[in-house]
Amino acid sequence: MSEQVVPEFQHRTVLLDEAVDALAIAGARADGIYVDGTFGRGGHSRRILEKLGQRGRLLAFDKDPQAIATAGTIVDPRFEIVHDSFATMAQALQQRNIAQVDGVLLDLGISSPQVDDASRGFSFRADGPLDMRMDTTRGMSAAAWLASADEKLIGKVIREYGEERFAVQIAKAIVAGRAIQPISSTRQLAQIVANAVKTREKGKDPATRTFQAIRIYINQELEELEIGLDKAFRQMALQGRLVVISFHSLEDRIVKQFMASKAKLPQPDRRLPIRAVDLPQPELKLLARIKPSDAEVSENPRARSAIMRVGERLAGSPSAASAPSGAGQ
């Protein structure tokens, strides 16, 4: 059965200009190779293509079939879309004989069209099937997982990925609820959580953290982020830029720690006679930490939690200096 493409929902790309500007696509770099690891509805990709030179190249990734359908409307020989996670970029680049890239942009989380489309099951604001898969062509839905997972695992997921202090109570309520009838809709799950959470955060629905946790777990978002950051860094040419936009603390913590570890100056053994010129150098230079402006948040409230971190690849690794960008094309 073919995937049905639903009408496009409105989407505003967060930190559009700031993110693309951070890639520094200018001069000789305009003919470089770039990766948009999260195509979404193509806001960043289209802006990157505007800045690319005639010999430039953009490889984009997305797991969402609807995003892939949108990407199909871009007719540009410099552009290619891959229906897969950005965590697979190393294999995808190797298949295309691309040794190195000049920049990688990751805009994490879910897009507005995914949230606003009730049929996707990401939001409790409208009733819909409890799916939550970013790639609806593969994997287990949230409903299927909740029907089979044990109480201990459900509680662990909600606690660790949702940072929910009532995780144990919610897990018990879910198991009790599914014994009466299958939990197959977003409204059912939201109501179960609401009944289990006695103290509510001001201005936040009690189901927010639980929905976030299950979505992250179902899509393996944090695991893919860790893999993707490592793969992106390994593929980065010297002076290549890594630009990552995150929307919650779990994502940002991983990005921050990864960049900090690469920017840290290795400490040599002080007992050894090492000349200053031979001292090891950091592999990454931290360039910026940027949040949306008040004006952007006013126009797009979903941007308020965004944090963008930017790093530049330094001559810290033999693999980075072994080949020029795009070698082997």
Using CA atoms, how far apart are residues 25 and 33, in angstroms rounded to an integer? 10
Residue of 18, 90, 131 whose CA lies nearest to 235: 90
Instruction: Label each residue of 187-224 as H, E or C.
Output: HHHHHHHHHHCCCCCCCCCCCHHHHHHHHHHHHCHHHH
Would the annotation count 114 as a binding residue? yes
Using CA atoms, how far apart are residues 19 and 1, in angstroms rounded to an integer? 37
Question: Which residue, chain included where needed, has tokens 């982020």?
Answer: 225
Would the annotation count 44 as a binding residue? yes
Would the annotation count 43 as a binding residue? yes
Would the annotation count 131 as a binding residue? no
Would the annotation count 72 as a binding residue? no
Using CA atoms, how far apart are residues 143 and 120, in angstroms rounded to an integer? 12
What is the number of H-type helices and E-type strands within the chain?
14, 7
Would the annotation count 21 as a binding residue? no
Would the annotation count 37 as a binding residue? no
Query: Which amino acid is present at 176?
Result: A
Binding site, annotated residues for S-adenosyl-L-methionine: 42-44, 62, 86, 107, 114
Binding site, annotated residues: 42-44, 62, 86, 107, 114
